[in-house]
Amino acid sequence: MQFPIALIPCPQHPHSSLSRVNPDPQASQHIFCPECLLEYDNVVLMYRKFPILEDFLAGTAASFQKDRASSGSSNTLKNASFEFLSQKEEKQA
């Protein structure tokens, strides 16, 4: 069962749901509800700058799946290499 992201309450404003994310690892705050963004001087800039939480998570999941798929093929190559080397060792023994 998936938990609807729109229902995750903001830690600072529990009556408001998280809606935006700041992907900058150096940021002091990474997730925002609309009320958090209203605390900034330039609210419009913050809305444009920070992606929607669902979009960010979907993009991150897609990137992870792509990396996972490409690393899976390298694991297959590693396994084939180990199998080849173990067969070579058996022949020498």
29-63 pLDDT, tens digit per residue, is 899 999 998 988 888 888 888 998 888 888 888 88
> How would you classify residue 64: left for phi > 0, otherwise alpha for psi between -120 and 50, otherwise beta?
alpha
State yes or no: pLDDT of 26 exceeds 90.
yes
Please choose, from the candidates 7, 29, 28, 26, the residue with its C-alpha nearest in 3D space to the C-alpha of residue 18: 7
What domain range is 88 assigned to?
A: 5-92
| Residue-wise pLDDT tens digits, 59-78 | 888 888 888 777 665 556 66
How many distinct structural domains can be found in the chain? 1
| pTM, rounded to two decimals | 0.59
The Cα–Cα gap between 69 and 61 comes to 12
Q: Are 47 and 35 in contact (CB under 8 A)?
A: no
Compute the C-alpha angle 26/31/33, nearest 5°. 145
